Chain A
Amino acid sequence: MMDACADPSALSGLGWLLCYLSTGKHLLFYASFGTVLLLLAVTAPVALGFGFMGALAARARLWPVRVIGRAYTAMVRGVPDIIFFLFVPIALDQGFEYVRHRVKCPDWTEPVRQGSDFVVCQAAKLPLSTSPQIWHEVYGFALAVLAFAVVFGAFAANVLAGAMQAVPRAQLETAEAYGMTPRQVTRRILIPQMWIFALPGLSNLWMILIKATPLLFLLGVEDVVYWARELGSAKTQAYSYPHPDWRLWYFLALLLFYLGMTKISEAVLGRLTARLARGQATMAGEAMRKAAA
């Protein structure tokens, strides 16, 4: 920290504010915006992947695969998000640790569940309790990404399955008439054409995902909302920078951040829609063809 900020109680006005806004705690707050953006950047493709697999599975010709695909979407869509966010990471974590416990400590005789305690041997802890805090955070973040991806993947699967149904049958029939195998039809005709039908649903999901990031704190990841609350709450003389309840200002900053994210997303999605509509057998695609001709 700057030398000028060594004694905050002697400062006033702008100097105080500048020092206040550059405390270690504020730097963590600024960094947490990066955490949220990283979460979005990682979760969106992973969730889309889950959704894609789910949609293909729901359409599969083998019935066990079809049952799995449908069960996944039906189950996840039916359970409240917050329960899923609390359940998935804890279940995954204990599942991983249990497997490692079995592998690494085969001669352990005590039960894993002792009353309400979940006890595995030291070597099976994930991450090891001796590893630095950063690994615990990375691990927590990874579990969070997985939980988000499972939940949003189920919704995406439904959107993509609907989009696959919406591709005009005539397009697929033409491909079949050219002698393409079902696999080729799916890969060359169905998948490239379905995106334009999926986009409205997917863009909704993206918007919901942006707004769902404060749920991160439920999973123990210190996100923007946690820091805004922590920094904004009234501070007594126990702190170097005492101040009254400033949560309103911190939440106002968050409001601007989320509105900005929404605005950027809308612009990008608008361009993407125009790009995907080109040459498609839809009204928008037809309008573009006529305008160009």
Chain B
Amino acid sequence: MKTLILTTAALALSAGFALADTVRMGTEGAYPPYNFINDKGEVDGYERELGDELCKRAGLTCEWVTNDWDSIIPNLVSGNYDTIIAGMSITEERDQVIDFTQNYIPPADSAYAALTADADLKGVIAAQTGTIQADYVAESGATLAEFATLDDTLAAVKSGEADAVFADLDALAASVNESGGALVWAGEPVSLGGGVGMGLRESDKELRAKFDAVITEMKADGTINTLITKWFGPEAKTY
């Protein structure tokens, strides 16, 4: 019995080896509508649909993997997966460690959400750790309260622990619109970052070129715009 299991294991491993083009797509799975785990327990959202289409057009077999946001870059560079497709904005700082494709979501607005529209935006502001919004809050003179997930930042505002939450407008929109007035927008939206791109290891130039080419193609034929409108609503910025 034991040898049987071992042989099957060996077969499974060697059989997989024949198709060399599997790309492991790393995402967070906690940032709807960019990416989230749906009720079937699968990765879903704008990036899932986009990623599957990119892989199809580039002729790659893709496998989805979820990873904590905190350690998403370290796990990419140590090779646990091959791409980050997790609503990650292209910034100078990140670009020093990993490489980005061109953006697949145009630079979008970030916004404050709070219990009242006149919330103190120089008070305690909740943001997700390691995001461009967290950096912005730290520099804005407000007190930054960092949380591991977007959901935790929202919970902090609802419990009164933070005065407001600062995050991507598109990610906050559903929570604000469905709160029945409990959560409202505060202050003006701020435009941050260079758009959302796919992150890859710096040593992986070839794969980056492949994805870049397909993104250009999808931008040209308008499929990306259709996807953005589908997931982010008609007001979202398109190409």
The answer to whether B78 and A90 have CB atoms under 8 Å apart is: yes
The answer to whether A242 and B39 have CB atoms under 8 Å apart is: no
- Inter-chain CA distance A118–B75, complex, in Å, is 10
Residues of A within 8 A of B40 (CB): 23-25
A238 within 8 Å of B (CB atoms): yes
B33 within 8 Å of A (CB atoms): yes
Q: How far is the CB of B175 from chain A (nearest CB, A)?
A: 6
Q: Decide: A236 near B178, CB < 8 A? Known: A23-B40, A25-B40, A116-B97.
A: yes
Residues of A within 8 A of B36 (CB): 238-239
- Inter-chain CA distance A234–B33, complex, in Å, is 14
Q: A52-60, A124-132, A198-206, A251-259: which lies at the B interface?
A: A124-132
Residues of A within 8 A of B97 (CB): 116
Q: Decide: A237 near B174, CB < 8 A? Known: A24-B42, A129-B82.
A: yes
A136 within 8 Å of B (CB atoms): yes
Q: Decide: A25 near B78, CB < 8 A? Known: A133-B63, A238-B32.
A: no
Interface string of B124-152 (1 = CB under 8 A from A): 00000000000000000000000001011
The answer to whether A239 and B38 have CB atoms under 8 Å apart is: yes
The answer to whether A236 and B12 have CB atoms under 8 Å apart is: no
Q: How large is the interface on B (under 10, 10 to 19, 20 to 34, 35 or more residues)?
A: 35 or more
Q: Decide: A233 near B67, CB < 8 A? Known: A114-B203, A118-B79.
A: no
Q: Decide: A130 near B41, CB < 8 A? Known: A220-B67, A234-B155, A238-B36.
A: no
Residues of B within 8 A of A130 (CB): 16-20, 22, 61
Residues of B within 8 A of A287 (CB): none
B190 within 8 Å of A (CB atoms): no
A residues 131-167 touching B (CB-CB < 8 Å): 131-133, 135-136
Residues of A within 8 A of B37 (CB): 25, 230
The answer to whether B16 and A234 have CB atoms under 8 Å apart is: no
A245 within 8 Å of B (CB atoms): yes
The answer to whether B77 and A116 have CB atoms under 8 Å apart is: yes
Closest to B81 in A: A129
B residues 53-77 touching A (CB-CB < 8 Å): 61, 63, 65-68, 75, 77
B residues 71-102 touching A (CB-CB < 8 Å): 75, 77-80, 82, 97
The answer to whether A25 and B178 have CB atoms under 8 Å apart is: no
Q: Decide: A132 near B12, CB < 8 A? Known: A24-B40, A116-B97, A241-B39.
A: yes
Closest to A124 in B: B79
Interface string of A219-263 (1 = CB under 8 A from B): 010100000011001101111111001010000000000000000
A residues contacting B by CB (< 8 A) are 8, 23-25, 27-28, 90, 93-94, 97, 114-120, 122-123, 125, 127-133, 135-136, 217, 220, 222, 229-230, 233-234, 236-242, 245, 247
Q: List 30 A-B contacts (CB under 8 A).
A: A24-B39, A24-B40, A24-B41, A24-B42, A25-B40, A94-B78, A115-B203, A116-B202, A117-B202, A119-B79, A120-B79, A128-B13, A128-B16, A129-B82, A130-B16, A130-B17, A130-B18, A130-B20, A131-B16, A132-B12, A136-B65, A220-B80, A233-B30, A233-B149, A233-B152, A236-B174, A236-B175, A238-B36, A239-B38, A240-B39
